[in-house]
Structure 1
Amino acid sequence: MYFKLSLRNVRRSFKDYAIYFLTITFAVCLFYSFNSISAQKAMLDLSDTQSNMIDELMRIMGAISVFISVVLAFLILFANRFLIKRRQKELGMYMTLGMSKYHISRILVMETFLIGLISLAVGLGLGTLLSQGLSVLTAALFKVDMNAYEFVFSTAAMLKTILYFGIIFFIVMIFNVVIMSRYKLIDLLTASKKNQKMKIRKTSTAISVFVLSIILLGVAYGIMLKYGLFHDTTLMWTSIGLGAVGTFLFFFSLSGFLLKVLKKNEKLYYHHINMFVLRQINSKVNSTFISMTIICLMLFFTIGVLSTGFSLKESLEKDLDETTPYDATFYGFVGLGEVDELNSLFTEMDLDQYGETIIYNRYRTDQGIRSYLQPYASGAAATFLDQERGVDLEVIKRSDYEKLVSMQGEEPVSLEGEEVLLLTNRTDLTEPIKRFANEHAQIEIKGETFPVAEEGLRVVSTKTDGVATEFMTAVLPDEEAEQLSPFSVTINVQYEEGKQEVADQEIPEIHAALNAQEDIPTYVLGMTKTEAYEQSTGTSTVVVYIGVYLGIVFLISSAAILALQQLSEASENMERYSMLKKIGVTQKGIHQSIFRQVFIYFMMPLALAIVHSIFGIKVVNDALLAAGQTSVLLPSFMTAGVIVVVYGGYFLATYSGYKSIVK
């Protein structure tokens, strides 16, 4: 009997609470899909570096999945609490008919088990299908070909999903039993008649708290705009803390004065049944300001993570062509007397067999580029120069510069006498250096004054690297450069035609064997161009996957909580809507009031999250531009599209479900 009753309740729940089931199913689908990435490697033509990146991605995903499971556990518990609350009268009727709390708890446990079983089955099925498409996305993000399509099913991901969600639903079962044991019959039967208490009664107090919240948010925004994202960790966390507290106080104070303010606009307040709608919203915000705060912060995190993830991928890959002019580069930092040893070490690597090579020194000046460029910097460059730590002007010899540029197939700038040419590959520093070179006929380096060449700046890279690190380098006459202290030795390699495949395989092995020696003067850094591309695409793909995974889960969680809050109180409002019908409100008018209520309720946390995001995106945008990388504006528009689809979809589903329950 109890099983039949549980099965009937589950069938009814599918009709009335489709969002609850869909949310759990979608969570299972995402969890399985993102944890099955390692199984997709069989289809992809991956190098060792890319294969290692996927292994690293799976290790990170493992840690992230633990966090995600905690978030989903709270979501499911939250949803379950509202479902139990809506069924209080039903449970009270069971007790009235003589059913004990033990047997009611058994029914709830069976229902939870059935819900979990169905959600896991459907979610795993959808996740299996989604993971097939994820294989194509993985290939695109890693920029590799698919060997041949084959159906992929990850047993490890399936078992992990079953384990994690099994634990979650077991906790839900215990939660239901504990909740049921605390209920009294009178509480269950009169639950729908209880009114919610106002948290703030005095309008003056509410307005004061609201003003304080605006001040805290303004201070948080100001700190981040002034000091940027990476200026100081303490300031960053202080800003985040102030923003979180300000968000809480904003929603805490809102219901205390919002309705009274709107009452003053009689045309708005008394139009149609706006009075009813506004009171409904005011009452709901008054009792859910904590969840409103959490949802707002989650939405802000979602917008920020999705925007940052896509933009960081673009930025990491944007300048690779400019920062990888050579097929391979290796370098080591040296102390006094170690230059000759490192030169000999690079010679012994015998990289000449793969193509043209050049070994050259870089010299230190101990003069920060900030002292040269700060008067000419603005925007992203000024932000970078304000935050830079120990970025000095570097020097290379003129003869080395000419060989390096010729090796790239370019024509070097012709320099005469003691003329100096400045080099950079940083897009944010190009304009300040150009202005400095144009406005100065000479430059002082280590107490010596040198004339600046007519073409004062050349945008060029003197080594292959995954990021733009040629901040500002001066080309000096050989005899002048040799008077300075060298701090690094670099070897560049340009492959001969037809040797790339062999070189890309053998040179990393030579590099690894070199660093394995115990008597080398310093650890040798560097990579091939292929490794630079693979590491860049691999790193950016890891960032994208984590960003998308977290962002979508947070977005779904936020929308699901809002939806369940609205649907859980729909039955409580049935009598109120019935009264509206009795006083002459049409069905169309009731539908309009439901639409306005649900729309405003969904928009309140999203609106503040968007305000947070405007400032957050500005700060992140400045940080990326200061690093010579791309803007986050385009990815932000893409993120907005995702939010419109997912969040808007939940809104429409909630509106439809609300109408169905009230009807």
Structure 2
Amino acid sequence: MNFLQFAFNNVRRNARAYFAYFLSSAFMVMIFFTYAMFIFHPGIAQSEMGRMTSIGMEVAEYIIFVFSILFVLFSIGSFLKARSKEFGVLSLLGATTGSINRLVFLENLIIGIGSIVAGLAGGLLLSKLFLLLSVKVTGMNRLPFYMPWKAMGFTAIAFLVLFAVLSVFTLVFFRKNQVIELLGGSSKPKTEPRVSWVLALLGVALLASAVLLLKGGEGLDFPKVMMAAATGIWGTYFFYTQVTVALIRLLRRSRRLLWRGTRLLWVSEMAYKIKDNARMLFMVTVAISLACMSVGVILAAQAQNERIYEGDPFAFSYGIYEEEFVEADVAWIDQQLSEQGIRYETIEQESFSGYLGTMESYVKVYSRSEYNKAAALLGKEMLPEIGKGQSVAHAMEGSAAERMLKGKTIPLTLSILGEPMELELLPNEVPLIGSNSYTSVVVLSDADFTELKNGLTEENQNRLYRDIEIYVPSWQHKGAPRLQDPEIVIGKRLFHGMMNRLENKVTDNYMSSRGRSYAETREQLSMLSFVGIFIAAIFSVSSASFLYFKLYSELNQDRRMYHSLSKIGLGDREMRYSSSLQIALLFFIPVVISGIQTMVVLSLLGARFLLGDVTVPVLTATGAFLAAQLLYYVVVRSRYVVQLKRVMV
């Protein structure tokens, strides 16, 4: 038997340990390859949407590769520690450090090459489905299948270099260990988990400071967000390394709670497991939190996009900036809609733009008469009289302005005024309609609005906005439209036609389309969803693999412990309950912590980024990860319990 066969047999005999690592690596290679196949597709360059999607997938490639580096580095290190006793025996039999290094390098290379071959094969089998799915989700033209030789070569070389370089890098482990340490393996007695109450309190303080930084108010900016992220990450690290140990130590002081059934066994053992696995649990939590936040933001943005569309009753809004072009523009719009057989009605409105409290709380300001004109056109209930100094307001759900409508007064700031107007806020006896696709509404009395108009100087006459709103009765359906619906198709055509008129100096006025805005946002979010869903899947699979590796490295120790306990009366049922509960806590604690972090972060940032109510999106994203983790738990727990059952007396 030559050296290569020896390395191959070692991999084969340790197949149970390497199987999850092999599958996870192959899955990463497959996703990386399918993205590369899309990027190198010859039809991508012919579509603007394809180029945008290609850029998004290139970013995803970098993320996948960086995460693959961390995954492979962690996995190889875990396996080397788990097999340290085996390497110690080889050293006693005369194997030199160079021979063991060569053996480890060949083993990792064998697994790496196998993962690359399996990943490329899986990618090729699913390539047709991937191209069809990408076209369906992103809304691009049909992409025919092609033989992706360039993508295959690029993927194979990238991951071959990755496995080779990291295999060499991890060999430093052996140079720091004597033979006696290697022979000890994982059987060395563990010291009692210690806790630093200073670091535990620091962890709680860091998590609290992250929340306070995200509240931010007017001072919330990018540096503060990054500082909040850094303090949150460090707080999570100290939570696992210190706070959890402190909580378990406090729990162990209560004999009434602890000395019942198998609680003494699994609680005591969890103190060691959480302390030993703190860094791994921290990495898993950060990975799942990032994935949960990404998925939650996309889901919240999709829901908000639909709410914005449904809250805007007007199909088009024509903004008047130069009076001389109005007649020609209106005639052109009428011609475009009439050619399509679209029946419509118009209304001209005057308004101011302002904000409530902070610059983030953007609102449109109308008089009661202007508002009632729109309500009459739409068949909605009209507003009753509004007194001078009073107002009625409607804030878009999830907007920053929504928080400003909790009191009895509102501070309305306009660019034409030196000081904000303090207005009495009347209750909404009549449900207000939205003004357009992205703003909240404040309605003033006619007297207050007229006073604002009369106070305009020649320099700020342009602060009074005039719009012609176009209402299409046949497009007032419930729910969001499909991308093939007439409103989307015609809306894009009219918008681009008006933009051409602007570029050709035919007009200086502007036209927005409700359908086009909805469709473009949906297309962008679809592309992000398509890219993000696979990255989230990689994070999920990798986090489960991390946990599997750590459990496998502790398997021999758990075997010895349960074998000894079985001699003094521990039964199979107690063993299954205790081990299952410990595994469940390791699998589900990171998901629960990630879900809480995601809910807190997106709730605080939701109004700033117009995400609306994030509760359902966050619960959906967290629930998806929880379901995936449950599947991994069932598989890992069954295999683990079978191994422990074999040593029970």
Q: TM-score, normalised by structure 2?
A: 0.76
Q: How does 1:9-88 map to 2 (within 5 A)?
A: 9-34=10-35, 36=37, 51-88=47-84
Q: Which amino acid aligns with 2:158?
A: Y
Instruction: Pick closer, same or farther for the CA change 1:546–1:401 going to 2, 3 Å.
Output: farther
> What is the alpha-carbon distance in structure 1 between the residues aligned to residue 37 and residue 519 of structure 2?
21
Question: Partners of 1:10 and 1:306 in 2: how far apart?
Answer: 37
5+ residue gaps, structure 2: 339-343, 411-415, 475-484
Q: Counterpart of 1:314?
A: 303
Identity of aligned residues (%): 17
> Is residue 217 of structure 1 aligned with residue 207 of structure 2?
yes
Distance 1:468 1:90, change over 3 A: same
CA-based RMSD of the aligned residues comes to 5.0
C-alpha displacement of 1:502: 9.0
Q: Deviations over 1:241-293 (max 9, x none)?
A: 33333222222224654554344334554556654544433223333333333
Contact kept, 8 Å, 2:287 with 2:543, in 1: the verdict is yes
Q: How does 1:121-160 map to 2 (within 5 A)?
A: 121-128=117-124, 138=134, 141=137, 157-160=151-154
Structure 2 match to 1:650: 632
SS of 2:305's partner is: helix
- Paired with 2:577 and 2:472, the residues of 1 have a C-alpha distance of 70
Partner of 1:373: none
Size of the aligned set, in residue pairs, is 612
CA contact (8 A) 1:424 1:472 kept: yes
CA 1:241–1:129 in 2, change beyond 3 Å: closer, same or farther? same
CA distance in 1, matches of 2:167, 2:208: 44
- Point out which structure has higher relative CO (alpha carbons under 8 A, 6+ apart): 1
Residue 564 in 1 paired to residue 549 in 2? yes
| 1:284 and 2:278 are equivalent in the alignment | no
Match of 1:471 among 437, 441, 445: 441
Q: Residue 562 of structure 1 aligns to which amino acid in structure 2?
A: L
Alpha carbons 2:351, 2:366 under 8 Å: kept: yes
Determine the structure 1 residue equivalent to 2:500.
513
Q: 1:458 to 1:597 in 2, by over 3 A?
A: closer
Q: Would you say the 8 A contact 1:6–1:107 is kept in 2?
A: yes
Query: Could you tell me which residue of structure 2 aligns to residue 168 of structure 1?
Result: 162
2:559 to 557, 570, 574: 574
- After superposition, give the CA deviation of every residue in 1:207-239 in whole Å (9 maximum; x if it has no partner): 443344334433433554x54699444544444
Q: 1:109 aligns with which of 97, 105, 109?
A: 105
1:294 and 1:230, CA in 2 relative to 1: closer, same or farther beyond 3 A?
farther
Native 8 Å contact 2:35 2:57 kept in 1: yes
Maintained 8 Å contact 2:347/2:470: no
Distance 1:468 1:579, change over 3 A: same
The change in CA–CA distance for 1:563 and 1:394 in structure 2 (over 3 A counts) is: same
- Separation in 2, partners of 1:456, 1:263: 57
> Is the alpha carbon distance of 1:115 and 1:423 closer, same or farther for their aligned partners in structure 2, counting shifts above 3 Å?
same
Q: 1:362 to 1:422 in 2, by over 3 A?
A: farther
Distance 2:407 2:381 in 1: 21
Measured at CA, do residues 438 and 646 of structure 1 come closer, stay the same or move farther in structure 2, by a change above 3 Å?
closer
Deviates more, 1:428-437 or 1:602-611: 428-437
1:6 lines up with 2:7 in the alignment? yes
- 8 Å CA contact 1:322–1:461 kept in 2: the answer is yes
Question: TM-score when scaled to structure 1?
Answer: 0.75
Asked if structure 2 preserves the Cα contact closer than 8 Å seen for 1:303 and 1:636, the reply is: yes
Q: Distance in 1 between matches of 2:630 and 2:217?
A: 32
Equivalent residue in structure 2 for 1:596, among 581, 586, 591: 581
Deviation at 1:74, TM superposition (A): 0.5
Amino acid at match of 1:61: M
> Distance in 1 between the 2:549 and 2:347 partners?
66
The farther-off stretch of 529-538 and 308-317 is 529-538
Label 1:486 to 1:345 Cα distance change in 2 as closer, same or farther (>3 A).
farther
Residue by residue over 1:412-460, the C-alpha shift from the partner in whole angstroms, topping out at 9 and shown as x without a partner, is 96999x9999896845799999999999xxxxx9899x9x999996744
Deviation at 1:614, TM superposition (A): 4.3
Shift of the alpha carbon at 1:83? 0.5
Distance across 2 between alignment mates of 1:61 and 1:230: 34
Deviations, residues 529-563 of structure 1 (Å, cap 9, x unaligned):
55323202112213433443443333333332222
Does residue 486 of structure 1 match 2:450? no
2: CA distance, partners of 1:426 / 1:486: 26
* Structure 1 unaligned residues grouped into runs of 5+: 371-385, 440-444
Moved more, 527-536 or 230-239: 230-239
Structure 1 pair 461–264 and aligned structure 2 pair: CA distance change class (3 A): closer
Specify the alignment match of 1:631 in structure 2: 613
**Which deviates more from structure 2 when the two are superposed, residues 454-463 or residues 524-533?**
454-463
Other-structure match for 1:96? 92
AA at the equivalent of 1:317: E
- Contact residue 359 and residue 489 of structure 1 kept, 8 A: no
Work out the CA distance in 2 between the residues paired with 1:499 and 1:555.
Answer: 40
**How has the CA–CA distance of structure 1 residues 215 and 177 changed in structure 2, closer, same or farther, with 3 Å as cutoff?**
closer
Counterpart of 2:10, as a letter, is: N
Match of 1:380 in 2: none
Question: Aligned-pair distance for 1:62?
Answer: 1.0
TM-superposed deviation, 1:81: 0.5
CA distance in 1, matches of 2:52, 2:7: 44
Letter in 1 for 2:15: F
Once residues 505 and 238 of structure 1 are traced to their aligned partners in structure 2, the CA distance between those partners, rounded to angstroms, is: 41
| CA shift for structure 1 position 8 | 1.4
Q: Tell me if the contact between 2:206 and 2:232 (Cα under 8 Å) persists in the aligned partners.
A: yes
CA contact (8 A) 1:28 1:120 kept: yes
Map 1:184-263; keep pairs closer than 5 Å.
Answer: 184-196=178-190, 200=194, 206-224=196-214, 226-227=215-216, 231-254=220-243, 257-258=246-247, 260-263=249-252
- Whether the aligned pair in 1 keeps the contact of 2:312 and 2:514 (CA below 8 Å) is no
What is the SS of the residue equivalent to 2:570?
A: coil
Aligned 8 A contact 1:88 1:191 in 2 = yes
CA-to-partner distance for each residue in 1:134-186, whole Å, 9 max, x for gaps?
556556645x6997x97677555544433432332122222244434554433
**In the alignment, what sits opposite 2:292?**
303
Moved more, 283-292 or 483-492: 483-492
Q: Which residue of 1 aligns with 2:413?
A: none
Q: How far did residue 77 of structure 1 move?
A: 0.9
Matches within 5 A, 1:247-396: 247-254=236-243, 257-258=246-247, 260-266=249-255, 269-271=258-260, 274-323=263-312, 325-326=314-315, 328-331=316-319, 334=321, 339-340=322-323, 343=326, 346=329, 350-355=332-337, 368=354, 370=356, 386-389=357-360, 391=362, 393-394=364-365
Query: How far off is 1:66 after superposition?
Result: 0.8
CA displacement at 1:566 relative to structure 2 = 1.3
Identify which range, 156-165 or 111-120, moves more after superposition: 156-165
SS of the equivalent of 1:571 reads helix
Question: What SS does structure 2 have at the residue aligned with 1:471?
Answer: strand
User: Separation in 1 of the partners of 2:492 and 2:301?
Assistant: 29
Greater displacement, 33-42 / 106-115: 33-42
- The whole-number CA distance in structure 2 between the counterparts of 1:95 and 1:435 is 73
Aligned equivalents of 1:228, 1:33: Cα separation in 2? 43
Describe how 1:530-545 pairs up with structure 2 within 5 A: 530-545=515-530
CA distance in 2, matches of 1:454, 1:86: 67
Rounded to whole Å, the distance in 1 between the matches of 2:370 and 2:623 is 53
CA drift at 1:613: 3.7
Query: More displaced, 211-220 or 56-65?
Result: 211-220
> Does the 8 A contact of 2:588 with 2:626 survive in 1?
no
Q: CA deviation at 1:100?
A: 2.9
Classify the secondary structure of the residue corresponding to 2:120.
Answer: helix
Deviation for aligned residue 1:72: 2.0
Check conservation: 2:200, 2:238, Cα contact below 8 A: yes
Which of 526, 533, 539 lines up with 1:548 in the alignment?
A: 533
SS at the partner of 1:17? Answer: helix
Q: Tell me the secondary structure at the aligned position of residue 214 of structure 1.
A: helix
